[in-house]
Every structure is written in C-alpha cells, then in structure tokens.
C-alpha cells in the first residue's frame, strides 16, 4: 500500500485530495490502495454529503470565529477538525478485498484493524456504534465512506490533542445518535486518545503495511475538484 503523509495549504485542497485519490484509483484500471495522513492547521467544520448545515452546525458561531464550514463527499454527520486531530484516508480495492462491498463488513474490517493497532499502545480501544472508535466509552474517532465501482474511500478523524470544548461550541447535538451515546452532550461524549501524533501515524502505517512511497499524487484532479466542488458555495450549502 502507498503512504502519503501530506497536508495541503487550504481546507478545500485537503478535502479534495481524499476524493482525487479515490478517482485516481478508479481510473487506473488496477487495484491501487493508499493510506493518506494529514492534519488541518486551522479549525474547520466538515459536514457530511447529505448533512443540513442549519440542523447540525452553529453557523453564527462559526462565522464569528471565522471558522470555515465545508462539505465532504462521504456521508455521516458534521465534525470539527484542526490541530490536534489527525485525519486519515484509506483508498481500498474491492478486487483485493471483495468482502468490503458489504458496508457493515467494511466498517468492521477497517475499524477493527485500527482499533487493534492503537489498542496495542492504549488498552481499551473499541469499536462502537456504526463507525466510531472509543476508549472508556468516549468517542475519539468518527468515520465515513464513499464507494465507487472498484474502490472505496474510508476516512475519518483521530482526536489526540484537540480542544474538545470547540466541538460543543460549533456543533449542535446530532439528529441521529448511536445508542451507546445515551443522550450525552459533546463534552461528556468525546475525548482525546492519550497518544502522541507520531505514535498514531506509525501505528496506522504499520497496521496497513503502507510502506510504498507516493511521490506523485493527483495534483491536477485535486485542483479541478476544488474549483468545481469544494470552493463552490452551492456544493457547501447543499440541501435545505
């Protein structure tokens, strides 16, 4: 598997690159798997493909703090990311891993692999809900999926040194909640994984056997997606 540890200058570029890596794999005509790691240098709210901003985001507070709100190509609810939140993206091949065509199996496989890798360093890491990773019943990782014909994009967050109070400040309580949340507010539901970022990076690369350098990445496709989608107000505003 290729390893791309790359944070681009803008939020739009970073979101676009995840999608461009998926499109690149699809266009290659062969299995092409990649693990990408990145970390936003500024706070950012990212909503799911079908999310409604007015339902999930405290827009007035985002505007007051000049925190951008952008929409990703995968599903799930709104998240807050920034320094202290490592982002990962996996492009996985159905040809190499046919069982992943079943979404439930994909969640179990990806999250099980990550939980096992991190659990060797911090005992007690578990999968909960549909696509969360938790420790002591508190969530530190949310994840989502985008599927195409021959590959899938599975990506998510890993909180390790994030200002957790920012989540409650910028997001409403999500309209859909996993049972294990038990109606808890953000403050008592989320937590940071007690690991250094370098240790998390190493654990992920080892778990996925991501050892192949990735000097070339889809720059032109990323730039096109920024212009056509991620920088477009119509895309971000989405359904009303």
Q: Does pLDDT of 240 surpass 80?
A: no
pLDDT, tens digit (0-9, with 9 covering 90-100), for 21-62:
999 999 999 999 999 999 999 999 999 999 999 999 999 999
| pLDDT computed for residue 110 by the predictor | 98
pLDDT, tens digit (0-9, with 9 covering 90-100), for 184-215:
999 999 999 999 999 999 999 999 999 999 99
Q: How confident is the model at residue 179 (pLDDT cuts 50, 70, 90)?
A: confident
| pLDDT computed for residue 60 by the predictor | 95
**Rounded CA separation 236/31 (Å):** 31
pLDDT, tens digit (0-9, with 9 covering 90-100), for 82-114:
999 999 999 999 999 999 999 999 999 999 999
Helix ranges, the chain (H): 11-28, 53-56, 59-65, 103-119, 165-170, 186-189, 197-207, 219-225, 233-237
Counting residues of the chain whose pLDDT is more than 70, the rounded percentage is: 99
Q: Does pLDDT of 238 surpass 90?
A: no
**Burial code of 10-36, b = ≥16 C-beta within 10 A, e = fewer?**
bbbbbbbbbbbbbbbbeeeeeebbbbb
| pLDDT computed for residue 15 by the predictor | 98
Structural domains in the chain plus CATH codes:
2-237 (3.30.930.10)
Q: How confident is the model at residue 132 (pLDDT cuts 50, 70, 90)?
A: very high
Determine the average pLDDT of the residues in 61-84.
96
Lowest mean pLDDT among 46-50, 178-182, 223-227: 178-182
Average pLDDT, the chain: 96
| pLDDT computed for residue 193 by the predictor | 98
């Amino acid at each position: 598997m290729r390893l791309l540890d790359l944070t681009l200058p803008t939020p739009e570029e970073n979101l676009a690159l995840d999608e461009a890596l998926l499109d690149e794999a699809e266009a290659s005509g062969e299995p092409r798997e990649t693990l990408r790691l990145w970390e936003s240098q500024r706070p950012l709210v990212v909503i799911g493909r079908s999310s409604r901003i007015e339902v999930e985001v405290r827009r007035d507070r985002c505007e007051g703090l000049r925190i951008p709100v952008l929409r990703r190509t995968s599903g799930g609810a709104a998240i807050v990311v920034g320094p202290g939140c490592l982002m990962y993206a996996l492009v996985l091949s159905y040809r190499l891993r046919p069982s992943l065509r079943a979404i439930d199996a994909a969640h179990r496989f990806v999250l099980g692999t990550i939980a096992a890798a991190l659990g060797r360093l911090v005992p007690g890491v578990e999968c909960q809900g549909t696509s969360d990773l938790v420790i002591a019943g508190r969530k530190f990782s949310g994840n989502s999926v985008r599927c195409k014909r021959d590959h899938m994009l599975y990506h998510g967050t890993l909180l390790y040194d994030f200002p957790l109070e920012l989540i409650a400040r910028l997001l409403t309580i999500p309209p859909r909640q996993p049972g294990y949340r038990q109606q808890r507010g953000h403050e008592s539901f989320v937590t940071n994984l007690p690991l250094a970022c370098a240790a998390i990076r190493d654990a992920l690369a080892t778990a996925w056997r991501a050892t192949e350098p990735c000097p070339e990445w889809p720059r032109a496709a990323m730039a096109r997606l920024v212009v056509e989608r991620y920088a477009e107000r119509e895309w971000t505003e989405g359904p009303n």
